[in-house]
Amino acid sequence: MSKTDWITQEIEALQNAGLYNHIRTIGSPQGAWLSVDGKRVLNFCSNNYLGLANHPALVAAAKKSIDEMGVGPGAVRSIAGTMTLHVELEKRLAAFKGVEAAITFQSGFTANLATIPALVGKEDVIFSDRLNHASIIDGCRLSGAKIIAYEHNDVKSLEKQIQVNLKDFRRALIVTDGVFSMDGDIAPLPDIYEVAKKYDILLMVDDAHGEGVLGKGGRGIVDHFGLHGKVDVEVGTMSKAFGVMGGIVAGKSVIVEWLRQRGRPFLFSSAMTVPDAAACLTAVDLLEDSTQLVDKLWDNAKYFKAEMKTLGFNTGVTETPITPVMLGEAPLAQQFSRELYEAGVFAMAIGFPTVPQGKARIRVMISAAHARDDLDKGLEAFKNVGKKLGVI
């Protein structure tokens, strides 16, 4: 027996359960069509909602910034890594989101790891939606606070947990995903806000899939619901609709100031790179200039979801361009994904632990980069594979 045998056995168990991650490799820029493992396929699974990941304006801005400022930040933000680009980006993001201040991180994941432990500690309690993203869950665990999960998008369950538990703790935080990434449903933020206000609890929303998607011109979930000034902390990412890489926290300036002092990934992990920051700035320019890309995204999503329903697929509870195609058992989802790939469509299967057991699915990500003809090709492939595998 070697001391890594257990890992080999675990990996075999994953393979047998249809839960092993078969990782495909992309050999082309992001866009509606990709080269995946050497084959040209229609891209139905990246988070490149607006097609910005290979947008000429972002590419040009990144190149120019490298010529002027080099590539790396050379340090953490709090020592020598804060460059004019970071400060500019934070100002622009705050204005775009309509908040007092914003701070950037290396990713949405690190933004959550920075924010939650800075706001609550071991004498405190967090009320967390049961289906929150892994980075929220990890941030909650890192904080050492008591974590109380409430039922998904269920404000009654949230309030009940608050009534039972709040008195036992020093401070509290309510945290929810804005758009739930695996189902595409939207948190009932106005109702959650009313509860937060009633009990005077800090409210945080992770808008990773709402940034660049929801609200006017992609200003996010707070704009979507007209809750400006009411949500204390908005976490977001520039790795999805913005097409680049990076995290944001937007909200009250006192919270942003506190994160500059106590956000551990800000203090102990180097800053966003030069080209990333420059490309993100250009993404803000594009979004402020026009709502055209966001409008196209929603037109595409509405069309695709309606056609999938007509074909007889179960697309769950989505309210956004995220389109889950519910299949049930993980091996079926994996087989469906393989057949789609053979038919020229790249859409990955998602199973446990990303989604609950028995709720495996193909998750289609619609983008403004898709032409109507691309969507029709995708629909045709779904129809053929769905019939072949007896799903429709």
Nearest position to ligand PLP, beta carbon: 108
- If we measure between CA atoms, which residue out of 354, 335, 337 comes closest to residue 133? 354
Closest contact distance (angstroms) between CB of 115 and ligand PLP is 11
User: Does position 133 bind ligand PLP by CB under 6 A?
Assistant: yes
Closest contact distance (angstroms) between CB of 159 and ligand PLP is 23
Closest contact distance (angstroms) between CB of 351 and ligand PLP is 17
CA distances from 48 to 14, 241, 362 (A): 29, 5, 17
Q: How many CB atoms lie within 10 A of CB 377?
A: 18
The torsion of the CA quartet 267, 268, 269, 275, rounded to 10 degrees, works out to: 30
Please say if 2 is a catalytic residue. no
Given the residues 55, 86, 97, 209, select the one marked as catalytic: 209
* Per-residue x/- track, 239-278, ligand PLP (CB under 6 A): x-------x-------------------------------
Q: Which is nearer to ligand PLP, 208 or 221 (CB)?
A: 208
Cβ neighbours of residue 291 closer than 8 Å, sequence gap 6 or more: 216, 217, 218
Handedness of CA 115, 118, 119, 125 (dihedral sign): positive
Given the residues 181, 239, 337, 367, select the one marked as catalytic: 181
**Contact with ligand PLP (CB under 6 A): which of 159, 183, 185, 206?**
206
Distance of CA 353 to the CA centre of its chain: 17
Closest contact distance (angstroms) between CB of 312 and ligand PLP is 29
Please say if 209 is a catalytic residue. yes
**Contact with ligand PLP (CB under 6 A): which of 43, 181, 300, 367?**
181
Tell me the pairing of strands 125-129 and 172-177.
Answer: parallel
Listed ranges 101-109, 258-266, 299-307, 377-385: which one lies at the site for ligand PLP (CB under 6 A): 101-109
Closest contact distance (angstroms) between CB of 279 and ligand PLP is 14
**Contact with ligand PLP (CB under 6 A): which of 46, 48, 65, 107?**
107
The torsion of the CA quartet 113, 115, 117, 118, rounded to 10 degrees, works out to: 140
User: Does position 370 bind ligand PLP by CB under 6 A?
Assistant: no
Listed ranges 203-211, 219-227, 312-320, 363-371: which one lies at the site for ligand PLP (CB under 6 A): 203-211
User: Does position 109 bind ligand PLP by CB under 6 A?
Assistant: yes
- If we measure between CA atoms, which residue out of 178, 191, 174 comes closest to residue 232? 174
Q: Which is nearer to ligand PLP, 187 or 375 (CB)?
A: 187
As a whole number of angstroms, the distance between CA 224 and CA 283 comes to 19
User: Collapsing DSSP states into helix, strand and coil, what is residue 244?
Assistant: coil
Tokens 């804060």 locate to: 82
Closest contact distance (angstroms) between CB of 31 and ligand PLP is 19
User: Does position 108 bind ligand PLP by CB under 6 A?
Assistant: yes
Listed ranges 119-127, 150-158, 202-210, 333-341: which one lies at the site for ligand PLP (CB under 6 A): 202-210
Closest contact distance (angstroms) between CB of 211 and ligand PLP is 10
**Contact with ligand PLP (CB under 6 A): which of 237, 273, 300, 318?**
237
DSSP string of 340-391, one letter each residue: HHHTTEE--EE-TTTS-TT-EEEEEE--TT--HHHHHHHHHHHHHHHHHTT-
As a whole number of angstroms, the distance between CA 58 and CA 348 comes to 27
- If we measure between CA atoms, which residue out of 144, 148, 153, 151 comes closest to residue 165? 148
Catalytic residues: 181, 209, 240
Query: Which residues form the interface with ligand PLP (CB under 6 A)?
Result: 107-109, 133, 135, 177, 181, 206, 208-209, 237, 239, 247
